[in-house]
Every structure is written in C-alpha cells, then in structure tokens.
C-alpha cells in the first residue's frame, strides 16, 4: 500500500521536475518495489545512508549548474527522494505512519506548479486513499468490520459546508502571503518586445494558450479583436524595438469594477467602450494584453500605462493573472509630440529601392492617406504570399522582401509597410500582440493562443490620430477575418489543424476549456474584488462580519445535529431503564454485565428493603413491555408509567 500510494502521489511530479530528477525518483521507487516483490531483506542503514549522500551530491551538482539557487523544483525533489529512502528502511508501524504523513506533504507540492481542476480531483481521490491506508495500518481488523469508504464519505460531507462557507466568505487578500522561489522563470506566453523576421512566425506554431477573455455584451467578430502588447519605434535594419527612453507612467486604475458607476464619456461617433475580463497565463513579462485602445484595467493591480496605449503590471506575471479592462474599439484622436514625430519618421541607412518607391508616392499624393492606400494596393496586387516558411532575406531586408522574395509572415508585412510609410513622410510605428481568438460558445469566452500572435502598423493622420492599418489583410484577408489557420496553406498548419478540428472533438475541447476557465475564474482567481462583487449582487456588500458570525454559528449548530439525532434514535424505554440502573448504582448496587432484570431486581430488593415495592413495580412494567406478549398498550403509555415508577423509586430511596 505504501509503495502504491507513493507512486500515485509522485505520478504528476514530472510536469515540473527535470527529467534527470524524475528518473532518479523512479529508480529509487523501483528499487523498493523489487525488494518487496522478491521478499528480500531491506538494505542496511549504511546502504541507505550512502544512497542519501549520493542524492545530496546530485542535488548539489544541480544547484551548482543552476548558478547556486535552491529552487522550488529541487526542494520538492529532495523531499520526494528522502520519503522513498524512508520507505527503504520502513520496518515498524511508526515508520509507515511517517511515510503516510509525508505523502500528504508531497501531495500538496503538486499545487506549487499550477492548479488545474483535474489536479484537485486527483489529489482528493489520492488523499482519500491515503486516509484509508492509514486507518488500515493502525486497525487491520477494520477491513472486515467497517465500511471504510462510506465512513470517509460521511467525513467529507461533514466538512464540505465548512469548506464552501470559508472559501466564499472568509476575508480574501489581494496578494499571496508568500511566494516560493523558482529555479528558472516559467512562462507559457512567448511574446517578446523585439520583432525580427521569423520571430512571430516561430510563435505561431505553438498551440499553447496565451490568455482567455470574456467580453461584456455581444460577441465580437474576429476582425475586431486586436490585443495590443507593445509599440515598436526603433528600427536598425534588422529588428524593431520599443522606445529607448522609459515611458511616462500614467495611472490605469478601473474604479467600481463591473458596476457601471465609473462613467466614461462616449467616444468618436457616440460609441461606448467595451469592458471585458482577461485571464493571462504566466509570461514572466510585465506588459498586459488589452483590446486595442485600452482605457483602464483593474484598480487592484496598481498597473500603469504609457502614452502609446501599453499597459504594464507592477511586477512580471509569474502566475495566472485575472484582470478587468476597458477599451475603445476604434481610434481616438491623439496629438503627435515632437519626439514622437522624430521617432515615427526615423529610418536606418539602406534599402534604396524601397526609398525610391516611397518617394514616388510622396511626390504623387499630397494626402498621407492616399500614400497608405498606395502601399496597401501594392501588397494586394503584387504576387505576395502569406507563409510561415519564407526564404531568407538579403542584407537590405525591406528591399529583398518587397522586390525579390515577396513571401513572408505578418512581421514582414508590418515591418516593410512602416518602412515605406516613414520613407513617404507618413509617421508610422509597429504594434505587436495577438489578433483574433477562438470563441468558445459553451464557456462564452475567447481563447487566444500563441498561434494568434500578430504584428500590424499604425499611422498618424491629422484629425484622426493613430490609425490602425494591417497590411497582412491586403495579402491574406482571411487571416484577419477568420484566423491564422484559414490563411495558411495546408503544409503550414501542422498542430493547429488538429487543435481546431471540427465535430464532436471540438465540442469536447470547448467543454474542457470552459471548465478550465471557470475553475480559474471562480476558484483560482477568487480574490477580494470578486468576493465584494458577489456580496454586492446579493445585497450584502457591507455585512461580511455579520455573515461570518451567523454562518459560523449555524454551522456549529449543524455540527451538533448528528449527536441530537443519535439521541433521538435511542429507545426511550431502554433509556429509562438505564436511568433506573444508574439510580441503583449510586446506592451501591451496580448491575452486572450479564445480569437480567429480574435477578437484578431481586438483589436490589434484598439490599434496599424500604424501596422493594418501587423496585419491583418498575421492573414488572419494564419486563412486561420488553419481554412479554405484545398488547394494545402504546409505547407512550409505558414510558409514562415507567417515569412515574422511577419517581416513586426516588422518593422511596429518599425516605430510606
């Protein structure tokens, strides 16, 4: 049982442990299993001690290779290794008890990596099995005399109301009390703040989830879902990067989240901003993802934003983060500062053919928007191709792409378009983020994956401010309207086609994804803000202390209910006879374990002659009911007569 439960406890650990460490744990556990299988004697203390030293040496080597940090994964691995070593010397019940207790600690370490809903079900099932084993270790006879699983079920049902009550109403904190160190930063989202040819194309091949979002109101078309991450200004001929100077921080708090009280004036054309919730996976980056033209995010984040519409958290996102946000879905006029004008027109040396083409547009079209349209016509009419496998570019990357290869991905089109616009005198910049998302109708939310990574452009026009222009839409309109899998050729899809397969498999995946999202939203990310909104919706926003006091009181009374019901189930006739025996015991006449009512009464009459008649009267009534022939007399009548006889006995004993 110990080997089996330890194997099940450690089974999910390879999700986070290095392969070498996982192999070591498997070897140690297999060693112990072989000893049990062959009924071989356990190793001596010298062998176990030597093995422990080898484990410590391996751990030291891993620490040295990792730069001297004792990370979370290594601590878990050491605990697991020494629990198995303890199992190698388990000979007595006390050893088995210690291994069982440590198994619970190992079970808790599964939550240090992440907390998916399946892990909660798995750990509860394994925890119940460990409790069952623990009971059998100490009480082997319980296997045939006790229904163990019903007993554990009743224990769980007894604790469930307390768990739900404390989870929902116990005061929540905005941040964890403590955080464990990590040996290496772990992030699932691969978006970088540097864009070069092929960088986003590599990210597209990943089906990992970047974030999920549920948007208030009607569902939006894919073409409206531009999730901004960073704005890139500087181009050195090979890569685009953000502004070198730190941006001016501006408060980004969203007050009165979700209640509509934080009023925002209508935007262009009388449009109103859209509010939505984002659940962001760990990125190890500080920037957040908002629908284009973000206005604000949850005030509890204490986030800030730049003048370019970028939003940043206070620290790198190292765990799933949920926040509420508000955005415009169309451009808002903005002034163009002198420094922004300089950056949005700056170009490195080189690419003469592209410069000449842009100069021709500048001479021909006085209106900057006409130059934008000329570039879009170039992409739409020339034989450009949208592909994840473009040929390599020459030293003059923009010239090589526009006039030679003409095959590329979104970063190729965004980069060359912005270069052309700047060369034509139109202020322009690159924006990177995600575009689109898969709508889950079962969960009513969008799933944005790494495969939705995208790059587009913005140009500044007088009276309109920064206007989004997506040159990819001129080459592959289906990319913007339907998603990346609709735009790429079949040989480029790979895992994405399997991920978005139609039919029952897609519905099953939607259901699992919806369950995951609900688990994150209502369990993992249930914080003080959600607790407050939940109480507000119930009309109990400022009564949390009273609710806690009342709830604890009611649950405490409910805990006494089994005792009360047990008392109600006791036979009242037998209860009165027990009281009768207790009265006589106080007089020094205790009833023997095998002594019948008549024999006991005869002995009591001899010892207490002054109460003999009362003793006999009570005994006759009890025996006639318990052992006599049933008659029409009711139990209530018998109980009344016994109570009267018991009172008479008390008076007789008092007179004596």
Q: Would residue 454 show up in a list of annotated catalytic residues for this protein?
A: yes
Catalytic hit among 454, 485, 492, 513: 454
Judged by DSSP in three states, 366 sits in: coil
Judged by DSSP in three states, 70 sits in: coil
203 lies in the same domain as 139: no
**Tally of domains within the chain:** 3
Residue 514 backbone phi and psi in degrees, to 5: -65, -40
98 lies in the same domain as 239: no
- Report pLDDT for 271: 61
Sequence-ordered list of residues with C-beta below 8 angstroms from that of 309, at least 6 positions apart, any chain: 228, 231, 290, 292, 293, 294
Catalytic hit among 410, 445, 452, 492: 410
Judged by DSSP in three states, 512 sits in: helix
408 lies in the same domain as 285: yes
480 lies in the same domain as 349: yes
Q: Which of residues 457, 486, 508 is at a domain's end?
A: 508
Residue 87 backbone phi and psi in degrees, to 5: -65, -30
Q: Would residue 410 show up in a list of annotated catalytic residues for this protein?
A: yes
Taking the CA atoms of the chain, what radius of gyration do you get in angstroms?
A: 38
pLDDT along the chain (656 residues), means of 10: 91 84 90 91 90 88 74 85 91 90 91 82 92 87 78 85 86 61 49 85 81 89 91 94 80 54 48 86 90 85 86 87 86 85 94 95 95 95 87 91 92 95 96 91 87 93 92 83 59 52 69 81 76 79 82 82 65 88 90 89 91 92 83 80 91 81
Q: How far apart are CA 548 and CA 551, in angstroms?
A: 5
Sort 10 into a burial class: Cβ within 10 Å, 0-12 / 13-18 / 19+. buried
Residue 543, domain member (yes or no):
no
Residue 136, domain member (yes or no):
yes
Handedness of CA 204, 382, 418, 461 (dihedral sign): negative
Residue 183, domain member (yes or no):
no
Q: How far apart are CA 237 and CA 250, in angstroms?
A: 31
Q: Which of residues 475, 490, 508 is at a domain's end?
A: 508
Q: Which of residues 508, 541, 560 is at a domain's end?
A: 508
340 lies in the same domain as 254: yes
53 lies in the same domain as 127: yes
| Structural domain span for residue 451 | 199-508
- Report pLDDT for 259: 40
Residue 537, domain member (yes or no):
no
127 lies in the same domain as 207: no
Taking the chain, what is the end-to-end CA distance rounded to the nearest angstrom?
64
Is 135:142 a contact under the CB 8 Å cutoff? yes
Q: Give the global pTM.
A: 0.70
Is 387:489 a contact under the CB 8 Å cutoff? yes
- Report pLDDT for 569: 63
Q: How far apart are CA 603 and CA 589, in angstroms?
A: 8
205 lies in the same domain as 133: no
251 lies in the same domain as 122: no
- Report pLDDT for 326: 92
Residue 255, domain member (yes or no):
yes
609 lies in the same domain as 478: no
- Report pLDDT for 255: 52
Q: Which residue has the tokens 């270790």?
A: 137
Q: Would residue 581 show up in a list of annotated catalytic residues for this protein?
A: no
Residue 524, domain member (yes or no):
no
Residue 265, domain member (yes or no):
yes
Handedness of CA 602, 606, 607, 609 (dihedral sign): positive
Q: How far apart are CA 227 and CA 291, in angstroms?
A: 4
126 lies in the same domain as 206: no
Residue 526, domain member (yes or no):
no
DSSP of 627-651: HS---S--HHHHHHHHHHHHHHHHH
> Virtual CA dihedral for 443, 444, 445, 447, nearest 10 degrees?
60
Is 597:622 a contact under the CB 8 Å cutoff? yes
16 lies in the same domain as 129: yes
Catalytic hit among 470, 485, 492, 513: 470
């Amino acid at each position: 049982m110990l080997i089996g439960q330890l194997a099940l406890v450690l089974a999910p650990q390879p999700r986070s442990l290095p392969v070498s460490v996982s192999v070591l744990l498997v070897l140690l556990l297999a060693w112990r299993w072989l000893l049990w299988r062959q009924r071989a004697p356990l190793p001596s203390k010298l062998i176990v001690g030597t093995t422990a030293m080898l484990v410590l040496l391996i751990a030291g080597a891993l620490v040295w290779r990792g730069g001297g940090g004792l990370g979370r994964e290594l601590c878990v691995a050491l605990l697991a290794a020494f629990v198995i070593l303890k199992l190698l010397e388990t000979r007595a019940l006390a050893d088995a008890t210690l291994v069982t207790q440590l198994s619970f600690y190992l079970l808790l370490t599964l939550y240090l990596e992440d907390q998916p809903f399946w892990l909660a079900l798995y750990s509860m099932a394994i925890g119940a099995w460990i409790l069952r084993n623990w009971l059998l270790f100490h009480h082997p006879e319980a296997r045939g005399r006790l229904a163990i699983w019903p007993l554990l079920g009743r224990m769980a049902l007894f604790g469930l109301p307390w768990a739900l009550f404390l989870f929902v109403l116990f005061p929540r904190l905005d941040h964890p009390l403590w955080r464990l160190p990590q040996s290496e930063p772990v992030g699932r989202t691969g978006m970088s703040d540097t864009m070069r040819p092929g960088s986003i194309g590599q990210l597209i091949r990943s089906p990992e989830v970047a974030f999920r979002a549920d948007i208030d109101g009607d569902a939006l078309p894919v073409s409206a879902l531009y999730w901004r991450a960073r704005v890139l200004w500087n181009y050195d001929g090979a890569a685009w990067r953000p502004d070198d100077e730190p941006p001016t921080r501006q408060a980004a708090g969203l007050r009165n989240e979700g209640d509509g009280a934080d009023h925002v004036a209508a935007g262009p054309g009388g449009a109103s901003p859209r509010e939505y919730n984002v659940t962001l996976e760990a990125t190890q980056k500080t920037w957040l993802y908002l629908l284009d033209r973000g206005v604000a995010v949850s005030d509890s984040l204490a986030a800030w934003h730049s003048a370019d519409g970028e939003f940043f958290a206070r620290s790198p996102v190292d765990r799933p983060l949920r926040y509420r946000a508000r955005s415009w879905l169309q451009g808002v006029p903005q002034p163009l500062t002198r420094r922004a004008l300089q950056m949005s027109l700056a170009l490195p040396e080189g690419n003469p053919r592209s410069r000449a083409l842009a100069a021709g547009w500048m001479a021909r079209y006085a209106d900057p928007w006409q130059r934008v349209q000329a570039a879009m016509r170039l992409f739409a009419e020339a034989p450009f191709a949208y592909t994840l496998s473009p040929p390599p570019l020459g030293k003059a990357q923009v010239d090589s792409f526009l006039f030679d290869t003409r095959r590329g991905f979104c970063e190729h089109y965004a980069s060359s378009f912005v270069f052309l616009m700047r060369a034509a005198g139109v202020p322009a910049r690159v924006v990177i983020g995600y575009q689109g998302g898969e709508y889950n109708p079962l969960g009513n939310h969008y799933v944005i994956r790494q495969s939705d990574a995208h790059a587009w452009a913005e140009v500044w026009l007088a009276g309109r401010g920064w206007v989004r222009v997506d040159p990819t839409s001129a080459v592959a309109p289906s990319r913007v309207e339907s998603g990346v899998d609709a735009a790429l050729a079949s040989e480029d899809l790979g895992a994405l086609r399997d991920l978005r397969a139609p039919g029952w498999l897609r519905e099953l995946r939607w259901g699992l994804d919806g369950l995951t999202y609900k688990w994150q939203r209502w369990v993992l990310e249930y914080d003080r803000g959600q607790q407050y909104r939940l109480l507000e919706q119930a009309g109990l926003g400022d009564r949390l202390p009273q609710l806690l006091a009342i709830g604890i009181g009611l649950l405490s009374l409910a805990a006494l209910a089994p005792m009360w019901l047990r008392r109600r189930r006791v036979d009242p006739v037998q209860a009165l006879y027990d009281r009768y025996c207790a009265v006589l015991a106080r007089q020094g006449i205790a009833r023997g374990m095998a002594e019948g009512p008549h024999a006991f009464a005869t002995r009591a009459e001899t010892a207490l002659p002054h109460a003999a008649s009362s003793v006999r009267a009570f005994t006759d009534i009890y025996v006639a009911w318990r052992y006599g022939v049933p008659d029409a007399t009711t139990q209530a009548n018998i109980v009344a007569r016994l109570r009267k006889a018991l009172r008479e006995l008390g008076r007789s004993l008092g007179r004596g």
